[in-house]
Amino acid sequence: MVDVSLRGLSKSFGSHPVVHGVDLDIQDGEFVVLVGPSGCGKSTILRMVAGLEDITAGELILGGIMANDLSPKDRNLAMVFQDYALYPNMTVASNIGFGLKMNKVPAEARERRIREIAQLLQLSDYLERKPRALSGGQRQRVAMGRALARSAQLFLFDEPLSNLDAQLRTEVRTQIKILHQKLGMTSIFVTHDQTEAMTLADKIVCLHGGKIAQTGTPEELYNEPKNLFVASFIGSPQ
Ligand code: ADP
Ligand code: MG
């Protein structure tokens, strides 16, 4: 787990600027939610943190280290996307343990870790199933399990609940909340959904047109929105 700092982080695609000087400090163990309407730059910020997109200007600091030019695999992060891709021909256990096997973790330690994670995510009864025999919510939990198994220092979530129906969305959201309470993994979670932001975040970063409109606790944004955009987006009566 690690402190993360974004200092004036900016991104242009060609001559088209989409992220404008984002400053953000994330403490070890904090759950930070980037929220804002579609197209405001949330995924681009996350992809710069992950190393999947070059940083046009500014600095990314991971655990005290200037990380702008670190390759994605040297950043020790786990990412959970909306379109989770599980291996269809592997069991749930093998899907969760895949990264451990790649890293040559011995079979016994691997199995112990898989069982631990399955218990955390309430997947213990499904370990021998193939993904097609699971519900959407269970599959998304397997994707999270795979990310957790790797003991990454930072978790990045890009709208992981968007493809789930309303009931499953609530179920998986609760699971993420419980997981964070238990494990305290430093997390950046991207969503356009205010309810997700309000229920999950230690700190919300509300984005508008590639800029930070306001940063604060859910209560601060709800009770003291800095401007009309934040007020209408977070839904506080003005
Ligand atoms: P969000 O995740 O908040 O919906 P994105 O970060 O995906 O927003 O996109 C922010 C802006 O950057 C949008 O206007 C989008 O069209 C643009 N954009 C994203 N990726 C690219 C790309 N690879 N090339 C050009 N423009 C892009
Ligand atoms: Mg996005």
238 pLDDT exceeds 60? no
Is the CB of 39 inside a 6 Å radius of any atom of ligand 1?
yes
Supply the pLDDT for residue 111: 95
Residues in Cβ contact with 45 at an 8 Å cutoff, skipping those fewer than 6 apart: 6, 9, 11, 19, 22, 34, 190, 207
Contacts of 136 by beta carbon, 8 Å cutoff, 6+ apart: 163, 164, 165, 168
pLDDT digits (tens, 9 = 90+) for 131-155: 999 988 899 889 989 988 887 889 9
Complex ipTM value: 0.98
Tell me which of 236 and 201 has the higher pLDDT. 201
Residue 158 and residue 123 in contact, taking contact as beta carbons nearer than 8 Å: no
Q: How far is the CA of 107 from the centre of ligand 2 (A)?
A: 37
Residue pLDDT, tens place only, 1-55: 569 999 999 999 999 999 999 999 999 999 999 999 999 999 999 999 999 999 9
Q: What distance in angstroms lies between residue 134's CA and the mean position of ligand 2's atoms?
A: 26
- List the one residue out of 8, 11, 86 whose CA is nearest residue 45: 11
- The C-alpha torsion from 174 through 87 and 46 to 19, rounded to 10°, is -120
- Please report, for residues 29, 57, 96, 105, the alpha-carbon distance to residue 112 in angstroms, rounded to integers and kept in the order given: 24, 43, 12, 11
**DSSP reduced 3-state for 214:** strand
> pTM for the complete prediction?
0.91
CB atoms within 10 A of CB 116: 15
CA-nearest residue, atom 10 of ligand 1? 41
Above 90 in pLDDT, residue 81? no
Rg (CA), the chain: 18
Q: Which atom of ligand 1 is nearest to the CA of 159?
A: 2
Could you tell me the distance, in angstroms and rounded to a whole number, from the CA of residue 13 to the centre of ligand 1?
8
167 close to ligand 1 (CB < 6 Angstrom): no
In ligand 1, the atom with minimum distance to the C-alpha of 37 is: 3
